[in-house]
Structure 1
């Protein structure tokens, strides 16, 4: 009997200790390990999202777990470009669009631009026209393609086809717009912004921008308190009252974990890593060889029994053959095809080979400088900072401050839209005595700057030259000039110098993957090509990516073998 009582006593004590320890560990999340003070106290003080568990996957994206891989060619370099020599790289985990950006997705963007910045207003006309894809890319001197010129972008029959005729610059602007719209919706769902305000309360003078909201929330939506502070902030999730009964902590911050990260173009390393889908050939902690295509195998036709013999991608199969014989040996398309028409790769990404080639973020150079960096490799960094007014607040662009850039094609592009924070180059305040960067523009670092050219002996002198002047000397590309006079007329001056030796400069961007116009050779994710960032074609599209914060993997049981 005594043994039973003793056992029960020990059991009760053990359970009590377990409950007590659980309560202690739970409550410690809101107790500072630095000071012992309470975090998220209703009376005020330090506020932080201590219950954050996982980054929410934003619309259209799939998760790509990062890792190491061999970037570069796996087949003969028949083009003799020597621009994709194999090298070991590591990319962090990130997210990428499941499919290419489609016509209907881009039309939603154009509709928003047209509503907020009506092209009937002369002040905003260039904003809408600058966002329009170039539908004339379909024309061919000896081809009848007017049906695509007139219908491909807007006809419902092509709604879920990848958008083309979009330059790299336009793709970046779409990603920025998408970031703001998704962030806007996140705030509405969390109660930090008025429901439906994205439809009823936006105008050229009252828009939402993530950076502006984080740095100066009262300046979003043109300072409309009814939108950014619904119900006086009293119904906001973390709203508190100060000693006088006024609501505080009524705006979301980075610390709240509510605002999503920004959409952007993937880097070249990210795109190639995601396209390969190497998890398909992983065996424990090694890869079983290398992949030539996004699918496992050496051929473009499927080997699986269910779909054996089917083409795995949309590409040009031979001279005068864009889709095979009708009803037989057909890849299902002659131009682009509807997204998700072919099986995805092992990451769940569609059309990473064929259909359209895709813009990536990087500036093109023939060499990937893995000697200097092999982690999240990217060429194209231009560091900026927020412009600060004399009163110490950030400078937010208004409808009177819009500045337009004239591209080499003659098209006008708005440098900043109203509601965004004006950006300026970093200066000595940020670079003094730093060892990791020393100026704003690092596009030509170690490949186009003075120290990497034959002018290296003069490196370090005090000459005042343009950022890309040495790139021009090293790669000697044509220097066309386009500007507008006081009346808005285009003044074009073509470079007719016959001594130019390259098309490479700081304004050409990498595009990856094969397209409906390419032969099988270009379906290899390692292949690299480049095109001017302000021009478009009928075979280059794009998809967006997003960085990941927090843990490398989404799995609950994180292996550390």
Structure 2
């Protein structure tokens, strides 16, 4: 069933090529391509810069010797990822988890969409063969129906979920929804909340570096699957500070609308990676719907990309605005950090500030110093500057769980705000002072900072 006939192959051979080329080598003609700036991002033109400490290392760390490197052009989020943006990810995952639970139960009950408003309306789309395409029928017969799993089967997203308990369509729907919440004995003050442990995002990726270095192996040997709990760890506001009252931040910071435009925190490196994978899928699902070419992946920046972007094109600058001063000519602080021996409030912010605060650097990037430190895709090694490449340098070691964070945060002293200061955190850790922003590779090579 999965084999093409010899006749089909011959027909494709004879008629697969157009005669409009007149036999000339004209290349495969596709649609003319124009770069499209991703929403919320700015273009960082590629170029060379001196990476590392341009002046004395006052902390005596000596982990950032100067080195001239070149990076390619890329797009970067103009702000840190906000609570609102990350909540979109969490809500999408929650929606998918509920629909999957409903579809599985409907499948077990042998129910299919019948338009009567029951759980059957949420059955897998392939359960209804009325309007099924030849391709969908083929995939179902050859892959999904011969497996005990449900991977690859399409969820029905054409019908809205019902969250009002008074409007649940049937008892089966109520059973699924009940399983999504914490047990009654764990609820208090009449509030029964979602069990966030169930909000998992599953995605696959290919370890291209391992595949390139392997002497042999099939493609499937380098496919990796991740299953990540996506909800931020809101307890970081308590765990990060002993003998301190921060419960309001724990209770409200992530979900309340008052903090929608503030940077998300409590997100581990792995969760930040999962967000980037979802963002790519979310965009490409829309591209597919519109019959447009897929975009390349969103990802965390490398350490070199982050420093290059933070400098904003200013050679040997101490801070994103150049420096070496931390206040402008009106005596206003230029970033959110811990100044004056620990007076957190003197910069007009006790914790974080809105992601689009203070003045952006010359690449129109906000808060590349202070507010929250930011995850990068690079693994931390104090000696990595000695051996990384001078072109698009990156030290990525899957065995090294220490990942570079950059930019300093609201609770850090000025030293960590410097564009060349390196720090790290373990990839499975979440902190109240670490967030992230994403990048996307620029397609082509025209945009460079040194172009005449």
TM-score normalized by structure 2?
Answer: 0.65
Distance 1:145 1:96 in 2: 32
Q: Structure 2 vs 1, CA of residues 31 and 355 (structure 1 numbering), >3 Å: closer, same or farther? A: farther
Deviations 1:340-378 (A, max 9, x none): 111100000000001000000001101134555110011
Aligned residue for 1:340?
356
2:446 maps to which of 552, 556, 561: 552
* 2:371 matches 1:355: yes
Distance 1:107 1:322 in 2: 28
Q: Structure 2 vs 1, CA of residues 149 and 32 (structure 1 numbering), >3 Å: closer, same or farther? A: farther
Cα displacement (A) at 1:550: 1.0
Deviations 1:180-222 (A, max 9, x none): 111122233x3x3xxxxxxxxxxxxxxxxxxxxxxxxxxxxxx
Aligned residue for 1:127?
200
Aligned residue for 2:302?
267
- Please say if residues 380 and 402 of structure 2, whose CA atoms lie closer than 8 Å, have aligned partners that are also in contact: yes
Cα displacement (A) at 1:36: 2.0
Aligned residue for 2:435?
541
* 2:334 matches 1:299: no
Aligned-partner SS, 2:286: helix
2:39 maps to which of 59, 82, 91: 59
Q: Structure 2 vs 1, CA of residues 134 and 372 (structure 1 numbering), >3 Å: closer, same or farther? A: closer
* 2:341 matches 1:319: yes
- Please say if residues 47 and 448 of structure 2, whose CA atoms lie closer than 8 Å, have aligned partners that are also in contact: no
Cα displacement (A) at 1:172: 0.2
Deviations 1:123-161 (A, max 9, x none): 992616811111000013211100000000011111100
- Please say if residues 263 and 544 of structure 1, whose CA atoms lie closer than 8 Å, have aligned partners that are also in contact: yes
Aligned-partner SS, 2:285: helix
Q: How many residues align?
A: 313
Q: Structure 2 vs 1, CA of residues 548 and 78 (structure 1 numbering), >3 Å: closer, same or farther? A: same
Q: Structure 2 vs 1, CA of residues 321 and 379 (structure 1 numbering), >3 Å: closer, same or farther? A: same
- Please say if residues 42 and 77 of structure 2, whose CA atoms lie closer than 8 Å, have aligned partners that are also in contact: yes
Distance 1:69 1:551 in 2: 17
Aligned-partner SS, 1:323: helix
Distance 2:431 2:21 in 1: 56
Deviation larger for 522-531 or 115-124: 115-124
Deviations 1:9-52 (A, max 9, x none): xxxxxxxxxxxxxxxxxxxxx9869x52677xxxxxx5522x22
Aligned-partner SS, 1:117: helix
Distance 1:32 1:549 in 2: 28
Aligned residue for 1:526?
420
Distance 2:56 2:285 in 1: 48
Aligned residue for 1:48?
30
Aligned residue for 2:270?
169
Aligned residue for 2:391?
375
- Structure showing the higher helix proportion among its residues: 2
Q: Structure 2 vs 1, CA of residues 32 and 536 (structure 1 numbering), >3 Å: closer, same or farther? A: farther
Distance 1:293 1:351 in 2: 11
RMSD: 2.5
Distance 1:277 1:32 in 2: 47
Aligned-partner SS, 1:114: helix
- Please say if residues 63 and 383 of structure 2, whose CA atoms lie closer than 8 Å, have aligned partners that are also in contact: yes
- Please say if residues 310 and 320 of structure 2, whose CA atoms lie closer than 8 Å, have aligned partners that are also in contact: yes
- Please say if residues 73 and 448 of structure 2, whose CA atoms lie closer than 8 Å, have aligned partners that are also in contact: no
Gaps of 5+ in 2: 1-18, 102-176, 181-194, 202-227
**Higher gyration radius (CA):** 1
Cα displacement (A) at 1:332: 2.3
TM-score normalized by structure 1?
Answer: 0.53
Cα displacement (A) at 1:554: 7.7
Q: How does 1:10-159 map to 2 (within 5 A)?
A: 36=24, 46-49=28-31, 51-52=32-33, 54-118=34-98, 125=198, 127=200, 130-139=229-238, 140-159=241-260
Q: How does 1:461-472 map to 2 (within 5 A)?
A: 468=399
- Please say if residues 368 and 407 of structure 2, whose CA atoms lie closer than 8 Å, have aligned partners that are also in contact: yes
Q: Hey, which bits of structure 1, 4+ residues long, moved more than 6 A?
A: 30-33
Q: Structure 2 vs 1, CA of residues 32 and 353 (structure 1 numbering), >3 Å: closer, same or farther? A: farther
Distance 1:32 1:373 in 2: 43
Q: Structure 2 vs 1, CA of residues 125 and 70 (structure 1 numbering), >3 Å: closer, same or farther? A: same
Distance 1:378 1:332 in 2: 36
Q: Structure 2 vs 1, CA of residues 554 and 85 (structure 1 numbering), >3 Å: closer, same or farther? A: closer
Deviations 1:274-312 (A, max 9, x none): 00012xx4xxxxx5xx10000033101113xxxx22211
1:508 maps to which of 390, 398, 402: 402
* 2:382 matches 1:366: yes
Q: Structure 2 vs 1, CA of residues 372 and 74 (structure 1 numbering), >3 Å: closer, same or farther? A: closer
Distance 1:266 1:509 in 2: 12
Q: Structure 2 vs 1, CA of residues 309 and 274 (structure 1 numbering), >3 Å: closer, same or farther? A: same
Aligned residue for 1:209?
none
Aligned-partner SS, 2:68: strand
- Please say if residues 46 and 448 of structure 2, whose CA atoms lie closer than 8 Å, have aligned partners that are also in contact: no
- Please say if residues 75 and 439 of structure 2, whose CA atoms lie closer than 8 Å, have aligned partners that are also in contact: yes
